[in-house]
Amino acid sequence: MKLRLLALTVCVAACGGDASRSPACGLAVIAGPALIEQQFHNARAVITDPPRGLPDSLPAMVIQQKQAFVRVGYDAEGKSIVMEYAGEGFPTRGAYGLLVVDDTSHRAVGVLVYEGVQPRDYPHLGTVTGGAATLNLYGVRVDWAGVSNPRCPILGAASPPQPRT
């Protein structure tokens, strides 16, 4: 009886930790961005005009890096989005930014930065700057609930904006 109680205690302790550090969450952090990029190749999901009413900051992540955030603004004419990446690991070339919008709520979820060849024929919404590098920003609508698990989200809450220096 004591052995069963000990085994049950060990099992509960092993399963009761931080879910965001589980193997399933590790898989979700890899699979989610891949599914979002795959959706970007569906012409009906591509956002052709910069959305209005974006918040001052959004969560952002260079794929396979730590999460950071972007400061959000518009150019002088108000036609293009201008974002400033605040975090480490921003690529200097051969990459592009992807504004992710939930197709159900029409809410901007965040920005993912993919390293690789950027699309040639897709309309870009603006730019994302990190350090001395500036990348084109594109947009895609996704079923956010289908690509991100609330227990291990791809993009968490946006970090609070910090004063510009």
pLDDT digits (tens, 9 = 90+) for 27-57: 777 888 999 999 999 999 999 999 888 999 9
CB 99 within 8 A of CB 53: no
Domain total in the chain: 1
Cβ atoms 83, 129 nearer than 8 A: yes
Q: What are the backbone angles phi and psi of residue 45, rounded to the nearest 5°?
A: -95, -10
Q: Is residue 8 part of a domain?
A: no
Answer yes or no: is 34 within a domain: yes
The answer to whether residue 123 sits within a structural domain is: yes
Write out pLDDT tens, residues 53-110.
Answer: 899 999 999 998 888 999 999 999 888 999 999 999 999 889 999 999 999 999 999 9
pLDDT at position 163:
47
> 22 or 120, which is more confident?
120
Across the range 13-22, mean pLDDT stands at 49
